[in-house]
Amino acid sequence: MKIVILDGHALNPGDLSYDVLKEFGEVTYYPRTQPELTLERIRDADYVFLNKVNLTREILSQCKNLKYIGVFATGYNVVDIEAARDLGIVVTNIPSYSTMAVAQHVFALIMEFYNAVNAHSKSVMNGDWIKSPDFCYWVQPLTELYGKTIGLIGFGSIGQRVARIASSFGMKVIVNTRSAFRIDEYNANARDDEKVRAVSLDELLSSSDIVSLHCPLTKDNNKLINAESLKKIKKGALLVNTARGALIDEEAVRKALEDKTLSGFAADVLSEEPMSKDCPLLNAPNCVVTPHVAWAAKETRVRLLDIAVENLRSFLNGKIINRVN
């Protein structure tokens, strides 16, 4: 059986091994695949693994041996799911592998604004503390998380983990989600001081000191945060996006930063990745952007690869898990 990995570098830049897939067949590895090379590389493949390479109906219909596609991610919009189903190709994803890492990254981004560790360290290393007449100083305001309100848009596994961390800081947590049952389930197992409150989107925007996005991207919430919704946001709020870049109208967010409607914007995702040279957020004021790395801790990637291997093993054993089509 022929296994092809189309863009394996992101998951494994050299610190993991794809040899674990050799028990299933011959493995051909490509660190990256340009669109024009995709069909050539998988035309005779039985199993394909990918992260961000697009598999269209046109491509899939020409892959006569293809039985299985394993997506090295939770999101699977790069695959034409309907075409795969019509052609009898099983598609699986990796759910919930990055919950801990992404929730951790959310607070790393928040702390960049609230504690300004990097700015103060740079000041010290530039010699400012040596010249200071006082035992301490600060280069920008510092803010406590205790007592602040964080509003979570979406309440899946990552949103729930963020809520738990926020509660440990003594924050108030409010949530806007279409899946109200998740709030009920969460509160049923939470202490009184950890319980979250369901609110409308308008109330969340107007009441939150920090707004953090944790919802999937759908046709209905594209550019959910836009010029109109930003008019409703609490003056001076911090906006955080570790979900999907297209949830944000980047032009509108830049304007909100420039007119100080937002005190800051922090993101790990953009509407176009890699970042384009004309991205509105490039060099925007009070803006921190990381290059889609919230999922990239080694422990997280090991977990992802382990699940990917188990997905394929289960498929071959006739007990398909994590199927998305």
Return the active site residues.
Answer: 244, 273, 292
Q: Is 240 helix (H, G, I), strand (E, B) or coil?
A: strand
Buried b (16+ CB within 10 A) or exposed e, 284-322: beebbbbebebbbbeebbebbbebbbebbeebbeeeeeb
The tokens for 4 are 């092809």
The tokens for 118 are 């990097």
Q: Give the Cα separation of 296 and 298 in Å (integer).
A: 6
Whose tokens are 């998380």? That residue is 145
Strands 262-267 and 287-289: parallel
Cα angle 266, 141, 165 (rounded to 5 degrees) comes to 50
Contacts of 210 (CB under 8 A, 6+ apart): 110, 148, 149, 150, 151, 237, 238, 239, 240
In angstroms, how far is CA 39 from the centroid of its own chain?
28
